Structure formats: C-alpha cells, structure tokens
Structure 1
Amino acid sequence: MKKLGLIGGISWVSTADYYKFINEGINKELGGVNFAECMIYSFNYNDIKRNNENNDWETTFNMLSKACQNLKNCGAEAIVLCANTMHLIADRIQESVDLPLIHIATETAKVVQKKNIKKVGLLGTKFTMELDFFKDKLSALDIEAIIPEDDDRDFIHDTIFNELGKGLILESTKARYLSIIEKLIDNGAEGIILGCTEIPLLVKQEMVKVPIFDTTLIHSNAAVAFALS
C-alpha cells in the first residue's frame, strides 16, 4: 500500500471526513482490519484565511510547500490537498515537492464526464467559482461550468468561512443554498458540483433533483485508488 500525505485543517471539519472516507475505502477493498497508511499535516485555518483575505497566495504556497516536503520526508508517496481552494496553487506545489498530487478538479471532472453531463453548476469559495483553476479541468473534458450570481457567491463564500468551516449547520443557510442550486438548475445545470469540501456537510443528494458531485468523497476515492495501485 502506498502512503498518502494529507494537507488538512482547511478546515479540520472536512479533513475529518477525508480521514474517514479514505480509511473506509481502503477497508472496503481489502477487508479485515486493513486501513490507510497516511499522515496528516493540519494547518491553523485562521492563518490560511488571513492569507486569502490579503490575496497573499505566495505565503500560502510557501506554507503548503514546506508542509508537503515534510510529509515527503516522512515517506508520503502522494499529496492530497484536502481543500478545493488550495488547488489554485496545486501545480506549483506538485512541481516544488516532486510527488504525485491527486488533483480534486481533475478527479471530479472524470466523474462528471462518466455521467455524460455537459453543464454543471459550481459552488465553492469565490476563488473556486470565479477563477479558472477548477473550471479549466472541466472544460478540458468539454464540460461547461456555470456559477451563481454575485450576491449568492458572496453568501456562499461568507458561510464557508464563518459557518461550515467551524462545523455550524444552520437551516436558514441550507435553505439559501438550495435556492441557489435551484436557480443554477433553471439556468441549465444538469448537475451540481459541491466544490468546497465543507458544502457536503450541508447539501445532500436527496435534497437536489439533479446529480450532485461531492468533491470530498470523489477526492477521497481517488486517493484510495492511488494508495492501492
């Protein structure tokens, strides 16, 4: 089994799901008391949030690159960035650390393609929704991504950091998310990508009439496949 290096704490809430899903996935394949060989480097979320607010991606890159190097030194054979937004700098990190990096958007795009879906709604932080690092992986497979309106993007971004990232699940927030999703469906979305690893804590498949794509689970499954390859 290959050893995985997980970059977590962004936030700890979703990192806990990664740990759960990866271990469950390994056990499903191998049975018995087989579980993942992995290491987690967990950041103080506040440090990452401060960098984001200052648009200081260079500091974030240096922090994550150093953490990945530490994981490599401890025997990690691949890196899993347990946060969608951090994939803005994923290519640079992979180059600097010289280890395979399992890319969340690449793996999600593959799953969407298998569903023969050509247009998806993309939810996430404003970085994920507005920048191209995630959408480019979709467009490479001829999948169009549409995003919510400005005020809805602001709402999603704020609740990710101030509610979901702290494990706060509010019914009023859930209702607003479902309303946003409905508007995306009305605009032609055939599926919805939950492009922040905290959003699956709030939105479940039974709440939505089109397929949803839980990037936390998809990414975890890809990590399991790598570990057992």
Structure 2
Amino acid sequence: MKMIGLIGGMSWESSAEYYRILNEGVRDRLGPTASARCLLWSFDFSEIERLQHDGDWDALAARMVDAAQRLQAAGAEVLLICTNTMHRMADLVQAAVGIPLLHIADPTGARVRAAGIARVGLLGTAFTMEQDFYKGRLAARHGLDVIVPEAADRALVHRVIYDELVAGIVDDRSRQAYRQVIARLVARGAEAVILGCTEIMLLLGPDDSPVPLFDTTSLHAQAAVAAALDDGIPGDSAAPGDRAAVSQVARGA
C-alpha cells in the first residue's frame, strides 16, 4: 500500500471526512483490521482564508508547495490537496514534487461522464465557481458543460461555506437555501450538480436535489484509495469503493 500524503486543514472539518473515507475504503478492500497509510499536513485555515480573500495567491502557492515537499520528504508516495479551491495552484504543486498529485476534478469529471451526463452545475467557493482553473479542467479534460449559479446565489453559497460549514455549523435554513440554488441550476439545464467544495457534503445529501449530486470529497478520497492499492485512478471503470461513493451521492440517478 502506498503512503498517501494529505494537504489538509482547509478546513479540518472536511479533512476529518477524508481520513474517515480513506480508512473505510481500505478496510472495505483489505479486511476489518486494515487502515490507510497516510500523512497529514494540516494548515491553520484562518491564515489560508485571509490570504484567499486578500487575493495573495503567490503566498498561498508557496505554502502549498512547501507542504507538498515536506510530505514527499516524509515518505508520501501519492499526494492529495484536500480542498477544491486550492487546486488553483495544482500545476505548481505537481511541478515541485516527484510524486503524483491526484487532482480533485478528475475522478469527479470521470464519474459524471460515466453517468452519461454532459451539462452539470457547480457549487463551491466564489473562487472555484468564478475562476477558470476548475471549470476549465472539467471542460477541457472531461468534455463537460459547466454552469454556475447567478451572482446572488454564488454569494450565498460562498458565505455559507466560510461563515458556517468551515466552522462545523450545519443550518437547516442554509440547506433550504442551497436546495433553491440547485433548483435554479436545474431550471437552467443542469443534469447533475458537483459539490465543488469539500465541506458542502456536510450540508447536502441525495435527498436535497432532484438531480444527482457528485461529492468531490468522497470521489477524491476513493481515487486515493485506488491509487494507494495500485488499482489505478478511477476513470470510466470505477473501482468498487468508487462506485459505492457515487451511489451514495447520486442515489436515484
């Protein structure tokens, strides 16, 4: 089993979910006493959040590269950035290390396409919804037509992430507001919705949407299990754990 290196703490609420899913995935494959070999570099998210909103992406890139290099030096053999937004500097991180970085958009995009879906809505931070680093990869590598909420809905989705979910606050009023955002995306033609922030899975489940939801946290972690166990990175043919993760998220698809 390869050693998985996790760049986490962004926020720790979702990093804890990564740890759970990784260990459950390894246990499901190898037996009841098996668990994942992993290393975690955990940031103080207050520092990361401040730099994000200040627009200091160079400082953020330097921190991410440093974390990746430290994990590689400690023995990591495959690397995950446990947040969608910070994949803005994924190419810089990959160039700075000699181990593979599993990009969070790729297992997600592959599973969306495998489900026969072409037009998908995207929820995430304002950075993820509005900048091209994420939408562009889904379009270029996976042929997806990606739509995002209108400006007021983007602001709402972003606020709930930073004011509530990263602090572990799960509010039914916010869940209802997100349901309405999803309904508006569906009205614009979205056949499914990508939960493109690793904390959104704390708020939404399959019953909250009339179309399939694809949870990037679960799909990313399951891809890491497959890579660590030399099953390959799930693509059009999903590994058993990956199929389970998708069925939980996209129930009724």
Give the Cα–Cα distance (whole angstroms) in 1 for the partners of residues 37 and 143 of structure 2.
35
Q: CA deviation at 1:98?
A: 2.4
Give 2:167's aligned amino acid. Answer: K
Secondary structure, in 3 states, of the residue corresponding to 1:169? coil
Secondary structure, in 3 states, of the residue corresponding to 1:83? coil
Alignment of 1:93-172 (within 5 A): 93-140=93-140, 141-172=142-173
Give the Cα–Cα distance (whole angstroms) in 2 for the partners of residues 201 and 24 of structure 1.
17
In the alignment, is residue 204 of structure 1 matched against residue 205 of structure 2? yes
Give 2:150's aligned amino acid. Answer: E
Secondary structure, in 3 states, of the residue corresponding to 1:133? helix
Give the Cα–Cα distance (whole angstroms) in 2 for the partners of residues 105 and 136 of structure 1.
10
Q: Which runs of 5+ in 1 are unaligned?
A: none
Q: Which has the higher contact order (CA 8 A, sep 6+)?
A: 1
Give the Cα–Cα distance (whole angstroms) in 2 for the partners of residues 187 and 11 of structure 1.
31
Give the Cα–Cα distance (whole angstroms) in 2 for the partners of residues 136 and 149 of structure 1.
18
Secondary structure, in 3 states, of the residue corresponding to 1:134? helix
Q: Which runs of 5+ in 2 are unaligned?
A: 231-253
Secondary structure, in 3 states, of the residue corresponding to 2:154? helix
Give the Cα–Cα distance (whole angstroms) in 2 for the partners of residues 15 and 101 of structure 1.
17
Alignment of 1:31-70 (within 5 A): 31-70=31-70
Give 1:37's aligned amino acid. Answer: R
Give 1:10's aligned amino acid. Answer: M
Give 1:42's aligned amino acid. Answer: S
Secondary structure, in 3 states, of the residue corresponding to 1:7? strand
Give 2:15's aligned amino acid. Answer: T
Q: CA deviation at 1:136?
A: 1.8
Give the Cα–Cα distance (whole angstroms) in 1 for the partners of residues 211 and 123 of structure 2.
14
Give the Cα–Cα distance (whole angstroms) in 2 for the partners of residues 24 and 41 of structure 1.
20
Partner of residue 246, structure 2: none
Alignment of 1:9-28 (within 5 A): 9-28=9-28
TM norm structure 1 = 0.98
Give the Cα–Cα distance (whole angstroms) in 2 for the partners of residues 73 and 121 of structure 1.
38
Give 2:116's aligned amino acid. Answer: N
Query: What do residues 104-124 of structure 1 show as CA deviations (whole Å, max 9, x unaligned)?
Result: 011110010100100000000
Secondary structure, in 3 states, of the residue corresponding to 1:39? strand
Partner of residue 251, structure 2: none
Query: Identity across aligned pairs (percent)?
Result: 45
In the alignment, is residue 190 of structure 1 matched against residue 187 of structure 2? no
Q: CA deviation at 1:158?
A: 1.3
Give the Cα–Cα distance (whole angstroms) in 2 for the partners of residues 162 and 65 of structure 1.
27
Give the Cα–Cα distance (whole angstroms) in 1 for the partners of residues 171 and 47 of structure 2.
25
Partner of residue 239, structure 2: none
Q: CA deviation at 1:159?
A: 1.2
Give the Cα–Cα distance (whole angstroms) in 2 for the partners of residues 212 and 98 of structure 1.
33
Give 1:135's aligned amino acid. Answer: K
Give 1:25's aligned amino acid. Answer: G
How many residue pairs get aligned? The number is: 229
Give the Cα–Cα distance (whole angstroms) in 2 for the partners of residues 111 and 137 of structure 1.
14
Secondary structure, in 3 states, of the residue corresponding to 1:184? helix
Give 1:7's aligned amino acid. Answer: I
Moved over 2 A (4+): none
Q: CA deviation at 1:75?
A: 0.3
Query: What do residues 61-107 of structure 1 show as CA deviations (whole Å, max 9, x unaligned)?
Result: 11111111111111000111000001010111010122200000111
Give 1:56's aligned amino acid. Answer: D
